[in-house]
Chain A
């Protein structure tokens, strides 16, 4: 029974399911580290997913589709930054506004420009000579499309930027004590603009990973709450890219496991199986939050002289 449950396909499915979470949550880590909560991630993902899908649908090029998602994500990040940093709007509320905008606009554009679900040729699975054919290991690690690898590659890059670069130091300073950072000559607004744009760009990429790499279809509300889970994963991961990676893998693994349990007909009510990833995430979140290093200035707008 154990062998039937813990198959190579479950682990491969885990990596696929984790991909959009990693992109979105690592991006959100940048944003939150600098003190800006972006609850609108889901809406940005939807817009990125649609932009990528429609571009591939119209041009046939996944590269141009990817670029479209990055640009749309960056623009929505810019809009979010303008609202949160320049206008200093309440971040939770404005985030919901961004989400609703993305939800509605992606649906409107989909209905107007495409009309009905169609499939496209997205990023193909990469065959890596010598690796893809290795039994079990090959199926788990070397049978994915380019964006799956890119997501995992992003984690050490993000960790390096946040922990080993001057820009990372500025991000952390702005998130912990913006007044002190400002006194040291750091342009708080500029840093926050950059992190929120990074978050938007990666959220657009997360959406693209769904619509032109993992699913190759688009439908209204395609992300189905995935962006909100990504925000929770940032807390789960204690505002570190590695923590976000572990959280994404855990959540996705439990999800893949429950699908496998359902598929092979293990007699567990499907309601319990589906609940499992969320219950485990909440439990982990409770323990993680006790030792969490939350950015002190998270959700607090910065006004010079306050």
Chain B
């Protein structure tokens, strides 16, 4: 009886110690939580694609787990705490601005674990927290210029989720770019106050079409509805966050794609060197974190014009010649050039 008790105590002690010991091998392990599905064609997929790319690059030296569909913050908190307590992960990513408060509370409890979160630039002054965001207004500006250039009616429809974060940045940039290309263009913007309400987003896009829009864009995972509206009405579609080329096969023109892998490589290197956080990253056109992809469905001539326009605008934005969001919320050709 005594031996059994001693064994039980020893086992319990071992179990309590083991999780605190980080896996001692050469594998870099990442755990990530995200609010929507890994195939949402938007925000969560952009991170999943980036981790998959890193996984392919690093092979056996990299592993990741991804918990998607965790829109409920409390559920995410449980996962994040479990991962941190397990000691198995070199980097824990909270991919969503709604997770900031959790991370601010959690990170000080696990100073040996590196955390990253976004989209935001606030590391809370903690040395084990990285923050990241995307200058989505840059790609929004380019998409806006292209949209205004091809619109025959001079009316463009935008369907947004909630007026915050990178969605707002994209839409602000889009409006600015559209006005930059055509000061008389009318940009109709509806924020539906939901990231996931596809039926409502669909009707919002339909309302824009009824009001004369012949070009559509939008941000967040509910854009699958507006894309279907664009396809049905044979209108042009501009996307952001991830490539939506497959779904918008006939209507897609260009897509701003978040390349989180650019900053993840840097984080991995830093963590390997013992720097667990304290830095904020921003995806930009300049650092290659924002990539504007041209739809393969465009004919050769159109694709060439679009590609050239993207290159010229990218150069202007990177050099500072074009101010994407001037103090005046609507850029003008005079202000921008």
Chain A residues near B (Cβ < 8 Å):
7, 9-10, 13, 16-17, 20, 107, 111, 115-119, 210, 214-217, 219-226, 255-256, 259-260, 262-265, 270-271, 274
Contact = CB atoms under 8 A, between A and B. Distances in A.
Interface size class of B (residues with CB under 8 A): 35 or more
B101 interface: no
Contacts of B31: none
Interface in B190-209: 190-194, 196-200, 202-204, 206-208
Given A7-B210, A274-B192, A274-B193, A262 B204 contact: yes
A256 B206 CA distance: 10
B211 interface: yes
**Of listed A13, A16, A216, A263, residue having the most chain B CB within 10 A:** A263
Interface of B: 36-37, 39-41, 69, 157, 163, 188-194, 196-200, 202-204, 206-208, 210-211, 221-222, 224-225, 227-228, 231-232, 246-247
Rank and list the top 4 A-B pairs by shortest CB-CB distance, nearest first: A9-B210, A262-B190, A274-B193, A270-B191
Given A7-B210, A263-B210, A270-B193, 15 more contacts: A13-B203, A16-B203, A17-B199, A115-B39, A116-B247, A117-B39, A210-B198, A219-B221, A219-B222, A219-B224, A224-B196, A225-B197, A262-B192, A271-B193, A274-B194
Contact of A263 (B188, B200, B232): B188
A119 B188 contact: no
B68 to A, nearest CB: 9
A274 B224 CA distance: 20
13 contacts: A13-B206, A111-B37, A116-B247, A117-B224, A210-B199, A215-B202, A217-B224, A217-B228, A220-B37, A222-B199, A224-B196, A260-B211, A263-B190
Given A118-B247, A220-B69, A262-B189, A215 B40 contact: no
A270 B39 contact: no
Contacts of B189: 262, 265
A271 to B, nearest CB: 6
Contacts of A219: 37, 40, 198, 221-222, 224
Contacts of B204: 259, 262-263
Nearest to B197: A224
Contacts of B194: 224, 274
A119 B228 contact: yes
A107 B71 CA distance: 15
B246 A263 contact: no
Contacts of B157: 263
Contacts of A214: 199, 202
Nearest to A218: B224
A210 B239 CA distance: 23
B200 A255 contact: yes
Contact of B188 (A117, A255, A265, A271): A265
A264 B188 contact: yes
A13 B229 CA distance: 13
Contacts of A263: 157, 188, 190, 204, 207-208, 210-211
A258 B210 CA distance: 14
Contacts of B202: 214-215
A119 B203 contact: no
Contacts of A10: 207
B62 to A, nearest CB: 23
Given A262-B190, A264-B188, A270-B193, A220 B36 contact: yes
A215 B199 contact: yes
B317 to A, nearest CB: 27
B96 to A, nearest CB: 16
Contacts of A225: 197
A216 B40 CA distance: 16
B206 A221 contact: no
Nearest to B187: A265
Contacts of A260: 207, 211
A13 B199 contact: no
A77 B93 CA distance: 40
B190 to A, nearest CB: 4
B335 to A, nearest CB: 22
Given A119-B247, A263-B204, A224 B193 contact: no
B247 A217 contact: yes
Contacts of A111: 37, 39
A210 to B, nearest CB: 6
A224 B193 CA distance: 13
A225 B71 CA distance: 14
A127 to B, nearest CB: 15
A216 B229 CA distance: 9
B210 A222 contact: no
Contacts of B191: 262, 270, 274
